[in-house]
């Protein structure tokens, strides 16, 4: 094998990689926050059968959990302009990630809500709390704590999945990688480094969410 | 003056007729104990009084207000007057002891945190847990948790307190610390309706004992009469089995 590895060729493109990484982090952060919100609202509607939203959320969840992310993305970016809705690449990527994560979050959080012991609800009812107050003050935080590891995994999956957003020219990390290797023809080195960056980001994201989320949800409880 | 008035109460669980026409009157300051075998309907009866169980026929009035409607607003109005303590404590695990006590008055009545904090401290002192304000429920023993649950119910200033087998989940050595709190409440004039298996306690503390059998009130009266001179064979059997 006579190939000479040249990682310096990739190191020279650090600004490009950093910009891509920053965009990936940004997309993931927005998806995480918005997806969580959708998940909480959707899960509440599903668990407590609030009509007609429970049905709407059920349809939404099944639609987006049972179609490929790439197809969802292409539909938003290439499909919608046909009916007059133009979305910029970044917005389309963000929207697709939010919608996708939201669908999974609804189901994850719902399982946490449904694991609430009946006695907790009865105690809250006996204390004259209304339904939404019970949800907000009694059910929600323990439910999120219960499913937080699963939720964290899903955020990491969506972060990794964001690589396909390069297909609609969102300038995230994998887009930067493909641009760099088309300039320096160093595919091995470029994708090796890029994979390393995804790995580091995934591990960091998982740890941050698990620890930070856990601490926030537990508030010093042992 | 009667505070709780139950007449002709019927309830079915599918094919099971669990309450078969129950009449019960509870006056202000009464301490009423419901006794009977499991499945006799005593817990169900207790739970209808704050709407945790619905019923099919009959009526319940509380301080002149009729319950029976299933609409959320009426139920909530009712629950403002009726506190409840459960067998399994049911403290909120994500809130500290102090927060468990303050949460409902803050959220439901919008009372000021400052006042609530003082009241919560006073209530904790009353149940003998003055130093546990910042503790978490799972750091407490069962008996301590149950005393917090009593304080939490009292924080809403209910007119009646329902106690559903509140010592049944406790280790034997922890039973008395909970009963002592209930005894004190009774002496202070709190209206109590209790389901209990602690017959000695029922005899000492209550002024009216109701023996339930097969969904009906089989025999009722002052504890001294009821326990020493049970009239029906069912109660005679029950008393000789448990005392």
Partners of residue B94 in chain A, C-beta under 8 Å: 141-142, 145, 217-219, 221
Partners of residue A123 in chain B, C-beta under 8 Å: 84, 86, 90-92, 149
B50 vs chain A: nearest CA distance in angstroms? 7
Average pLDDT over residues B123-139: 95
Per-position pLDDT tens, chain A of length 222? 688 898 988 889 899 999 999 999 999 999 999 999 999 999 999 988 888 999 999 999 999 999 999 999 999 999 999 999 999 999 999 999 999 999 999 999 999 999 999 999 999 999 999 999 999 999 999 999 999 999 999 999 999 999 999 999 899 999 999 999 999 999 999 999 999 999 999 999 999 999 999 888 888 777
Strands B208-213 and B216-221: antiparallel
- The full set of domains in chain B, from first to last, is 2-242 (3.40.50.300)
Percent of chain B past pLDDT 90, that is, above it, reads 76
The answer to whether residue A122 neighbours chain B at the CB level (below 8 Å) is: yes
B240 vs chain A: nearest CA distance in angstroms? 33
Note whether A72 and A99 are within 8 A (CB). yes
B149 vs chain A: nearest CA distance in angstroms? 9
User: Residue B69 has what pLDDT?
Assistant: 56
- Tell if the CB–CB gap between A141 and B76 is shorter than 8 Å: no
- Tell if the CB–CB gap between A126 and B50 is shorter than 8 Å: yes
- Tell if the CB–CB gap between A127 and B76 is shorter than 8 Å: no
Radius of gyration of chain B (CA): 18
Angle between helices A89-114 and A14-47 (to 10 degrees): 40
Query: pLDDT averaged over chain B?
Result: 92
Question: In chain A, what are the domain boundaries?
Answer: 12-218
Backbone angles phi, psi at B163, to 5 degrees: -120, 115
- Tell if the CB–CB gap between A142 and B94 is shorter than 8 Å: yes
- Tell if the CB–CB gap between A221 and B93 is shorter than 8 Å: yes
- Which residues make Cβ contacts (< 8 Å) with residue B110, sequence separation at least 6? none
Average pLDDT over residues B202-215: 93
Express each pLDDT in B44-96 by its tens digit.
Answer: 999 999 889 888 888 888 887 787 656 677 788 889 999 999 999 999 999 99
| CA separation for the pair A106, A47 (Å, rounded) | 10
Assembly ipTM = 0.92
User: Residue A180 has what pLDDT?
Assistant: 93
The answer to whether residue A219 neighbours chain B at the CB level (below 8 Å) is: yes
A137 vs chain B: nearest CA distance in angstroms? 8
- Tell if the CB–CB gap between A126 and B93 is shorter than 8 Å: no
- Tell if the CB–CB gap between B104 and A127 is shorter than 8 Å: yes
> Which residue of chain B is at minimal alpha-carbon distance from A215?
B94
Kindly indicate the confidence band of residue B109, based on its pLDDT and cuts at 50, 70 and 90: very high
Residue B51: left (phi > 0), alpha (psi -120 to 50), or beta? left
Length of chain B: 243
Average pLDDT over residues B214-243: 90
User: Residue B70 has what pLDDT?
Assistant: 62
Quick one: which H or E segment has residue B142? Answer: helix B142-154
Inter-chain CB pairs, A–B, below 8 Å: 68
User: Residue B241 has what pLDDT?
Assistant: 87
**A211-215, B122-126, B141-145: which range is least confident on average?**
A211-215
Note whether B85 and B194 are within 8 A (CB). no
* Strand stretches in B200-239, DSSP E: 208-213, 216-221
Quickly tell me which residue has 């935080």 as its tokens. A141
Average pLDDT over residues B225-241: 91
Note whether A120 and A89 are within 8 A (CB). no
Instruction: Find the DSSP H helices in chain A.
Output: 8-11, 14-47, 53-65, 69-74, 89-114, 118-126, 131-134, 140-161, 173-184, 187-208, 214-218
Topology adopted by domain A12-218: MetI-like fold (1.10.3720)
């Amino acid at each position: 094998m006579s190939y000479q590895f040249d990682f310096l060729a990739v190191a020279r493109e650090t600004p490009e990689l950093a910009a891509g990484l920053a965009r990936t982090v940004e997309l993931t952060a927005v998806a995480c926050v918005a997806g969580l919100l959708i998940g909480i609202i959707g899960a509440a509607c599903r668990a407590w059968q609030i009509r007609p939203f429970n049905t709407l959320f059920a349809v939404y969840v099944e639609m987006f959990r049972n179609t490929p992310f790439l197809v969802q993305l292409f539909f938003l970016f290439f499909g919608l302009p046909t009916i007059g809705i133009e979305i910029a690449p970044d917005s389309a990527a963000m929207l697709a990630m939010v919608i996708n994560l939201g669908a999974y979050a609804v189901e994850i959080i719902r399982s946490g809500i449904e694991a609430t012991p009946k006695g907790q609800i009865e105690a809250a009812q006996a204390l004259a709390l209304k339904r939404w107050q019970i949800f907000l003050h009694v059910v929600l935080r323990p439910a999120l704590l219960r499913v937080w590891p699963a939720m964290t995994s899903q955020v990491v999956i969506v972060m990794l999945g964001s690589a396909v957003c390069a297909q609609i020219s969102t300038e995230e990390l994998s887009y930067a990688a493909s641009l760099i290797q088309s300039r320096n023809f160093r595919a091995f080195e470029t994708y090796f480094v890029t994979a390393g960056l995804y790995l580091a980001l995934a591990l960091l994201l998982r740890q941050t969410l698990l620890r930070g989320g856990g601490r926030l949800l537990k508030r010093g409880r042992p | 003056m009667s505070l709780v008035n139950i007449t002709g109460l019927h309830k079915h669980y599918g094919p099971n007729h669990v309450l078969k026409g129950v009449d019960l009157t509870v006056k202000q300051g009464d301490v009423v104990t419901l006794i009977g075998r499991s499945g006799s309907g005593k817990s169900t009866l207790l739970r209808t009084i704050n709407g945790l169980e619905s019923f099919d026929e009959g009526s319940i009035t509380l301080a002149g207000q009729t319950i029976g409607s299933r609409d959320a607003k009426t139920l909530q109005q009712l629950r403002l007057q009726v506190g409840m303590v459960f067998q399994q404590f049911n403290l909120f695990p994500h809130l500290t002891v102090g927060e468990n006590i303050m949460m409902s008055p803050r959220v439901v009545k919008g009372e000021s945190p400052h006042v609530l904090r003082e009241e919560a401290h006073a209530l904790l002192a009353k149940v003998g847990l003055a130093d546990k304000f910042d503790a978490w429920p799972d750091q407490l023993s069962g008996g301590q948790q149950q005393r917090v649950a009593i304080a939490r119910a009292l924080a809403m200033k209910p007119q009646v307190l329902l106690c559903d087998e509140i010592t049944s989940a406790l280790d034997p050595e922890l039973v008395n610390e909970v009963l002592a709190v209930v005894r004190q409440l009774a002496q202070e004039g709190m209206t109590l309706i209790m389901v209990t298996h602690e017959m000695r306690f029922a005899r000492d503390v209550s002024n009216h004992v109701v023996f339930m059998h097969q969904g009906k009130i089989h025999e009722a009266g002052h504890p001294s009469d009821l326990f020493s001179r049970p009239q029906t064979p069912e109660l005679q059997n029950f008393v000789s089995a448990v005392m």
